[in-house]
Chain A
Amino acid sequence: MKIAVLQFGGSNCDHDVHYVLTEVIGVDADLVWYKDELEGYDGVVVPGGFSYGDYLRAGAIAARAPIMNSLRRMADKGLPVVGICNGFQILVESGLLPGALMTNRYPKFRCEWVSLRVENNTSPFTNSFKPGEVIRIPIAHMEGNYFADEHTLSGLDSQKRVAFRYVDEKGNTTDEANPNGSVENIAGIINEQGNVLGMMPHPERASEQILGSEDGKKIFDSMVSYISSI
């Protein structure tokens, strides 16, 4: 098994994700520069950062890089792809996930721990969680305000494609617990085929107890066990 961690100019969580995969979990992973070939991998992580300086819109330029064609082919084949933070922005800009990520309701960069409720624990990324489990993972973004039209939202809801929602410590989706104004407190979504996840919180920053939480590690664990099973 080998997982690719994509690197664009301005990616800055690439090494953190690579470290968690190789050192904490112990699977084989490569950092793959966007001009290189994306071949022979069993899964892909599109990490966070500020690709292309957030020029035009966050994620817009990276989403049109040629390597995204290879990524799309892998996603079409059913291989697991996860986009974190700027990686989520890149996936929505590329059309691999629906909706858009807009400037936070209060237009400020927010870097803090949040509580998330696991809404779907049958996906390749969430199969290590209990249903409705409340987990702690930090966010760090200014454009994380998820928006989608009514039609898209009802599809996400009816097909259980919302992976995580922002909640308070008791697991309730309150307005106070919503750090960025996302519609229906959405923090992460899954594509129709079920093999592409985008999420604003950073699981790689919550994968060791010394950093305050191991909840994020379960997302990578789930992905690894899914790859082993296919």
Chain B
Amino acid sequence: MQYHAEVTIGLKNGMLDPEATTVQKALEHLGFTTKSLQMQKRFILDLDATSIDEARARVNDMCMRLLANPVIHNYDIVIEESG
């Protein structure tokens, strides 16, 4: 089976994100006030697996071993059968 996965990775709550703060300030210069602003990274991938559980376990392993840094990041995996 083929599965389509979308992995969203962001900093854990309360971690300093100077890039997001800078973007938020630049928005302010344009007159857009925001109460909060976060930046996240998204990985979109397709993979073969025998079941959705196996696919999810493999994507989770990818996050733990490379895509995310578990010291500073949270991540969210959305996965669906794609053919």
Contact = CB atoms under 8 A, between A and B. Distances in A.
Interface string A93-111: 1000011101111110000
B19 interface: yes
Given A56-B66, A64-B66, A103 B72 contact: no
B38 interface: no
B40 interface: no
A147 interface: yes
Contacts of A103: 17-19
Interface in A50-97: 56-57, 60, 64, 92-93
Contacts, number: 34
Contacts of A64: 65-66
| B: interface residue count bin | 10 to 19
Contacts of B72: 100, 102, 147
Contacts of B66: 56, 60, 64
B11 to A, nearest CB: 8
B8 to A, nearest CB: 15
Nearest to B17: A103
B69 A93 contact: yes
B30 interface: no
Interface string B1-34: 0000000000000011111001000000000000
A53 to B, nearest CB: 16
Nearest to A108: B18
A105 B71 contact: no
Contacts of A145: 16
A62 to B, nearest CB: 12
Contact of B71 (A56, A100, A107, A181): A100
Interface in B42-83: 65-67, 69, 71-72
B45 to A, nearest CB: 14
Interface of A: 56-57, 60, 64, 92-93, 98-100, 102-107, 145, 147-149, 181
Given A99-B71, A147-B15, A149-B71, 7 more contacts: A92-B71, A100-B69, A100-B71, A102-B72, A103-B18, A145-B16, A181-B16
Interface of B: 15-19, 22, 65-67, 69, 71-72
